[in-house]
């Protein structure tokens, strides 16, 4: 076997591996779609709503897919405000923010969030956060 034949075989196997990874990724995304829109609450008062499926990140070294990282909106209960540090070390309450939540598809729930809540309950908490944010702006 020549070096060219070995390189050709390596290229062929890499293409097969890439196709299998893409197929597995698509299957995972199909499973993930059923969790989009679900809302959860934690013991600390934080509330999360899953707003999308895991994304493929383009990197210099290729693609990276985090199958358990779901984009989400996080709300903080105004009764138990979580303090967040913003620019210039200003200590402010952030009523909500977007981020990623670790979600185990096999268990069917996100990490650190115990209780599933309805969309109506989420909307009530979102309204509270909006009121708190408006109060902050008026001070």
pTM above 0.75, yes or no: no
Whether residue 85 lies inside any domain: the answer is yes
Q: For the chain, give the number of residues.
A: 139
Whether residue 22 lies inside any domain: the answer is no
Whether residue 23 lies inside any domain: the answer is no
Domain span at residue 39? 35-138
Whether residue 65 lies inside any domain: the answer is yes
Number of domains in the chain: 1
Burial letters 26-51, b for 16+ CB under 10 A, else e: eeeeeebeebeebbbbbeeebbbbbe
Sign (positive or negative) of CA dihedral 62, 65, 66, 70: positive
- List per-residue pLDDT tens for the chain, 139 residues long: 899 999 999 999 999 999 999 899 999 889 889 889 999 988 777 889 999 999 888 888 877 888 888 999 988 755 554 554 344 444 555 677 888 888 877 777 777 788 889 999 999 988 988 887 788 777 6
Whether residue 12 lies inside any domain: the answer is no
Residue 42, both tokens: 């934690």
């Amino acid at each position: 076997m020549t070096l060219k034949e070995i390189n050709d075989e390596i290229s062929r196997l890499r293409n097969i591996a890439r196709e299998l990874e893409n197929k597995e990724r698509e299957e995972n995304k199909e499973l993930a779609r059923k969790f989009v829109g679900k809302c959860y609450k934690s013991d600390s008062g934080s509330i999360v709503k899953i707003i999308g499926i895991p994304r493929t990140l383009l990197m210099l070294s290729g693609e990276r897919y985090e199958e358990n990282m779901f984009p989400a909106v996080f709300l903080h209960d105004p009764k138990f405000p979580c303090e967040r540090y913003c620019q210039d070390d200003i200590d402010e309450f952030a009523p909500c923010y977007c981020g990623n939540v670790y979600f185990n598809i096999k268990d069917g729930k996100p990490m650190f969030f115990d209780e599933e809540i309805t969309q109506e309950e989420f909307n009530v908490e979102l309204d509270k956060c909006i009121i708190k944010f408006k109060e902050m702006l008026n001070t």
